[in-house]
Amino acid sequence: MRVYVIHFRSSAAFSSAFDRVMDAHEVASCLAEPEYGRIRFLAPQKIADALVEQIYQDGGLVWCTQHDLTLSQADAAASLRRHSREL
């Protein structure tokens, strides 16, 4: 799995990218921060890379980072979420 954090120059570019991310059924998780023009999402590596390439071609993307999430990290994050719900 790959995590991308993408930043946009305008609210129009942000909105367009958000729609594209939300339409991608393979995206496992998404966090939109419109006040900062930023979207974070988690998807399988090939899907995530292709999605960011499409968003880049649409225009307005000013910066992005990518981080690979290993299975053990994903398991730890899921365990943490389950534990926090129990509290």
pLDDT at 86 over 60: no
pLDDT at 85 over 80: no
Q: What is the DSSP annotation of 5-64?
A: EEEESSHHHHHHHHHHHHH-TT--EEEEEGGGTEEEEEE-HHHHHHHHHHHHHHS-EEEE
pLDDT value of residue 83 = 53
CATH of the structural domain 2-81, one choice from 3.40.50.10540, 1.10.287.130, 3.40.50.620, 3.30.70.2190: 3.30.70.2190
Domain boundaries defined on the chain: 2-81
pLDDT value of residue 70 = 74
pTM comes to 0.78
Tell me what the mean pLDDT of segment 24-46 comes to: 95
Q: What angle is formed at CA 47 by the lines to CA 71 and CA 83, rounded to 5 degrees?
A: 35
Name the pLDDT band for 78 (thresholds 50, 70, 90). low
Look over the chain and give the mean of its residue pLDDT values, rounded to a whole number.
88
